[in-house]
């Protein structure tokens, strides 16, 4: 017997939940086919795409639009989910195009993409609960239902995909015993993309056909999570008591990463508090102990987020603004807003209405967070320019010395605005500032400063053979900027070795092992070269001679010829590859 079309008259408060629980036999097949094709398309788009903005954007659009449509499509309601999926796909695809196409011109572009993805993910349960129709009158039970069922079915689909991969590898190994080469097919990249899409779609479609059962599983998951509310509430109470007794400074003395720890605990408190809260009072279980544990967690979120904000503020006061710290600040704004709203609701509703107040706040906070994340994702605020202005002000005011100033961050972390500022600083009348800026400009890779990393040498221990003062100065500035050779612990030798076909003057630098081949242009710019097939090339993976010429007929003509070139010798022993 086939299901009858569901007519949404808007009369039932739980119409959205009932509508999606209709079993649709074609759902697993459509989901598998759609995500399988999407996976195949994504593979061909990103395969050897390098930094192609349009191709990566198209892949992001397909991935997000297809995924959202599979979550939101219903048997008798396809047009609205299709349009919503296209909009979310366009948002994520557009942000990806901007991030990939602009490259290093945009500071921390990955955060903007993440913010856009986060905003679209928050919008999915709102759309499923008919927020566009009911707006702020949307039933909280529907939103709560879709948030948890989406999470459970998504996790279940991923688990099914993993099990399917294990199974197909076992089958491939079995057939390999009798000479059937299924393993070769499984190892193909295009097959992996297709198989991942098919299994994710099949698992998701099957699970979403069982949402009535998933609803029961959801209750079990929430019950298990709510049990954790009591120990976490006790642990946070002990922590806050220790902070009150010892003072907040104990946090900064204990660790340099107080903010992520505090935010992680605050998020955990938020999740467990909502696990206790459920979508209505009738569904709350566990008795007074769990209910008051949830209440305590609600109150705990604000002090945790405030301490995290203080920690970040202290770091900003010490080191100034950076794009990464601005994104952290935006995250803290959201966290403190949640903590403050929860605290006010808990205090005003202490006599019993706090649960209904929190449920209403969840809708407002979720909508506000989605809009705020979308605002941050769009190219409205330039965190690179804001951070650059702040750092330059600190340098000019003397708040930080040129020796302590992080010129490398301007080049690698602050986008186009930072590099423009670096160009201006390189022409500064202050010799220390100009030197630091020029060294940063010469850097080929970002000098990450993790614990134990050796510091950049203040001077070089280098012995020269040939070369004028201008050549030597250019090479030495380059070596200092890239902090990897010729320090006091590893002296080296440099040889001026003539001129390259490009017109650059060639310098070989070695510390006794493989040499570095540096080309110095007339203006002093230094380019690193690599010895490949007896020639010096600019790209490390470049092939000097292409043996796979298109249009060739028959086997290649192979012969042995004498080779004449140059070779670096150290203490009479050959070092590195010969080159012409």
d(CA 203, CA 160): 6
pLDDT computed for residue 452 by the predictor: 39
- Residue 375 neighbours by CB under 8 Å, 6+ apart: none
When computed from its CA atoms, the radius of gyration of the chain, rounded to whole angstroms, is 31
d(CA 127, CA 143): 9
pLDDT computed for residue 455 by the predictor: 52
pLDDT computed for residue 543 by the predictor: 58
354 neighbors 295 (Cβ within 8 angstroms): yes
Structure tokens at 405: 């100033």
Structure tokens at 115: 């913010």
pLDDT computed for residue 550 by the predictor: 58
- Residue 206 neighbours by CB under 8 Å, 6+ apart: 27, 28, 160
Dihedral class, residue 135 (left if φ above 0, else alpha if ψ from -120 to 50, else beta): left
The four Cα atoms 310, 311, 313, 319 give a dihedral, to 10 degrees, of 160
pLDDT computed for residue 554 by the predictor: 66
pLDDT computed for residue 12 by the predictor: 43
pLDDT computed for residue 159 by the predictor: 97
> pTM value?
0.83
pLDDT computed for residue 280 by the predictor: 85
Structure tokens at 528: 């690193």
Name the one residue in this structure whose structure tokens are 């195009």: 97
CB neighbourhood size of 480 (10 A)? 21
The SS3 assignment for 261 reads helix
Q: Which residues of the chain have pLDDT under 70?
A: 1-15, 250-256, 448-458, 483-484, 488, 541-554, 556
**DSSP, residue by residue, 144-209:** HHHHHHHHHHHHHHHHHHHHHHHHHHHHHHHHHTTT--HHHHHTSHHHHHHHHHHHHHHHHHHHHT
Structural domain boundaries of the chain?
Answer: 15-218, 236-373, 383-406+414-442, 462-541+562-579
pLDDT computed for residue 454 by the predictor: 46
């Amino acid at each position: 017997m086939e299901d009858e079309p569901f007519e949404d008259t808007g009369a039932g408060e739980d119409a959205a939940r009932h509508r999606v629980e209709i079993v649709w036999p074609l759902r697993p097949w459509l989901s598998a086919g759609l995500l399988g094709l999407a996976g195949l398309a994504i593979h061909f788009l990103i395969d050897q795409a390098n930094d192609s903005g349009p191709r990566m954007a198209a892949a992001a659009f397909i991935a997000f639009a297809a995924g959202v449509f599979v979550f939101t499509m219903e048997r008798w309601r396809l047009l609205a989910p299709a349009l919503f999926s296209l909009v979310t796909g366009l948002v994520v695809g557009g942000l990806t195009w901007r991030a990939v196409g602009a490259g290093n011109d945009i500071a921390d572009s990955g955060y903007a993409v993440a913010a856009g993805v986060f905003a679209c993910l928050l919008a999915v349960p709102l759309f499923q609960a008919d927020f566009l129709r009911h707006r702020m009158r949307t039933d909280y039970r529907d939103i709560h239902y879709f948030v948890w069922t989406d999470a459970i079915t998504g996790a279940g689909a991923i688990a099914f995909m993993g099990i399917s991969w294990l199974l197909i590898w076992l089958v491939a190994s079995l057939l390999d015993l009798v000479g059937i080469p299924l393993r070769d097919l499984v190892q193909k990249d295009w097959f992996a993309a297709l198989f991942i899409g098919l299994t994710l779609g099949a698992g998701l479609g099957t699970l979403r056909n069982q949402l009535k059962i998933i609803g029961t599983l959801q209750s079990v998951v929430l019950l298990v999570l709510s049990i954790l509310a009591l120990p976490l509430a006790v642990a946070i109470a002990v922590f806050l008591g220790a902070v009150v007794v010892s003072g907040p400074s104990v946090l900064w003395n204990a660790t340099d990463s107080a903010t992520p720890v505090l935010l992680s605990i605050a998020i955990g408190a938020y999740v467990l508090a909502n696990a206790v809260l459920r979508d209505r009072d009738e569904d709350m279980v566990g008795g007074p102990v769990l209910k008051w544990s949830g209440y305590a967690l609600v109150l705990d979120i604000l002090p945790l987020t405030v301490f995290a904000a203080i920690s970040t503020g202290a770091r900003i006061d010490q080191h100034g603004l950076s794009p990464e710290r601005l994104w952290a600040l935006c995250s803290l704004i959201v966290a403190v807003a949640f903590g403050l709203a929860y605290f006010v609701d808990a205090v005003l509703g202490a006599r019993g209405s706090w649960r209904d107040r929190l449920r209403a706040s969840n809708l407002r906070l979720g909508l506000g967070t989605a809009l705020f994340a979308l605002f941050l994702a769009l190219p409205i605020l330039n965190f690179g320019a804001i951070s650059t202005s702040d750092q330059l002000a600190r340098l000019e005011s003397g708040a930080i010395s040129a020796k302590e100033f992080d010129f490398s961050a301007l080049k690698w972390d602050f986008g186009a605005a930072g590099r423009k500022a670096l160009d201006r600083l390189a022409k500064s009348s202050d010799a220390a500032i100009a030197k630091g800026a020029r060294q940063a400009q010469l850097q080929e890779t970002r000098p990450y400063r993790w614990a134990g990393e050796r510091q950049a040498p203040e001077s070089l221990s280098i012995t020269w053979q040939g070369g004028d003062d201008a050549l030597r100065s250019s090479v030495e500035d380059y070596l200092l900027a890239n902090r990897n050779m010729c320090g006091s612990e590893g002296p080296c030798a440099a040889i001026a070795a003539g001129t390259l076909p490009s017109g650059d003057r060639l310098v070989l630098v070695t510390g006794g092992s493989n040499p570095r081949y540096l080309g110095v242009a007339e203006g002093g710019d230094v380019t690193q070269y690599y010895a490949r097939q007896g020639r010096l090339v600019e790209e490390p993976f470049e092939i000097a001679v292409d043996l796979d010429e298109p249009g060739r007929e028959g086997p290649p003509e192979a012969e042995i010829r004498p080779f004449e070139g140059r070779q670096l010798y150290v203490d009479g022993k050959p070092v590195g590859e010969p080159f012409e």
